[in-house]
């Protein structure tokens, strides 16, 4: 089989869709993961250039489904060379879970849902995928967020989940390097996706776009380009890095 075998979680729309397109355009075979958007995933696979692409399904909050999904992807792709941990959840723009405006039950629910998918789901996917990536010169790229650094006052579980994902990636960059696996992370700011659509509507959207001196938010393809490079053979020495992709809307040293 030609090209690499690539698993992209949350690939049916947004950043994940752009990532899948970038890898397929480069000649790779892509497993398009979704939770409950089979029609969109199927449409994407049909639209990807090249051959050998597949659709896989799992609720990332379910460890058993994660394991079955990763093994299914590896079996149908003929192995696994790259994992892109892109899937994630974010609370609604209106609700969120501010500490003084949420009931204790709402607080618990939001934390459990967010960490189960964004952090534990990603960790479980890595554990399962590492068994297939081992000694293949594999790559893992995690999609984090600038919220891990600047804070998310109305969505604290989201910010904490992404900060945890950053730490997870750095820990595993050290742990997995002896097995030929490089691990890197991208941390986007706001991106034009279904998940952020309600946040980008006027009038709040104007304020969000004004956070960047470019007066816009990112396009999914811009994030996908960075992910694609970090997964390349040339990017091994970037293992452990966290790449800020926020249009200078948040700067750190």
Report the catalytic residues.
158
The secondary element (H helix, E strand) that includes residue 242 is strand 242-245
On whether the CB atoms of residues 142 and 85 are closer than 8 A, the answer is yes
Phi/psi of residue 60, nearest 5 degrees:
-65, -10
On whether the CB atoms of residues 143 and 228 are closer than 8 A, the answer is no
DSSP strands (E only) in 9-157:
29-34, 54-57, 82-85, 139-143
Q: Give how far Cα 192 sits from Cα of 38, 86, 199, 208, Å.
A: 21, 15, 10, 11
């Amino acid at each position: 089989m030609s090209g690499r075998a690539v698993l992209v979680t949350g690939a049916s729309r947004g950043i994940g869709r752009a990532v899948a397109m970038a890898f397929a355009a480069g000649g790779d075979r892509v497993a398009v993961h979704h939770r409950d958007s089979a029609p969109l995933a199927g449409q994407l696979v049909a639209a990807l250039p090249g051959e050998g692409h597949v659709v896989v399904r799992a609720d990332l909050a379910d460890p058993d489904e994660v394991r079955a999904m990763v093994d299914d992807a590896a079996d149908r792709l003929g192995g696994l060379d790259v994992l892109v941990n892109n899937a994630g959840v974010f609370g609604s723009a209106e609700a969120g879970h501010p500490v003084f405006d949420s009931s204790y039950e709402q607080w618990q629910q939001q934390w459990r849902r967010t960490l189960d998918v964004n952090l534990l789901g990603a960790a479980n996917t890595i554990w399962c995928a590492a068994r297939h990536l081992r000694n293949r010169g594999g790559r893992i790229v995690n999609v984090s967020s600038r919220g891990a650094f600047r804070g998310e006052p109305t969505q604290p579980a989201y910010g904490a989940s992404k900060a945890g994902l950053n730490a997870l990636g750095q820990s595993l960059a050290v742990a997995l390097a002896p097995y030929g696996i490089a691990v890197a992370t991208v941390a986007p700011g706001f991106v034009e996706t279904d998940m952020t659509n309600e946040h980008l509507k006027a009038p709040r959207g104007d304020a969000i776009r004004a956070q960047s001196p470019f007066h816009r938010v990112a396009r999914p393809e811009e994030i996908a380009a960075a992910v694609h490079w970090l997964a390349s053979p040339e990017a091994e020495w970037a293992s452990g890095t966290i790449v800020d992709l926020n249009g200078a809307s948040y700067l750190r040293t």
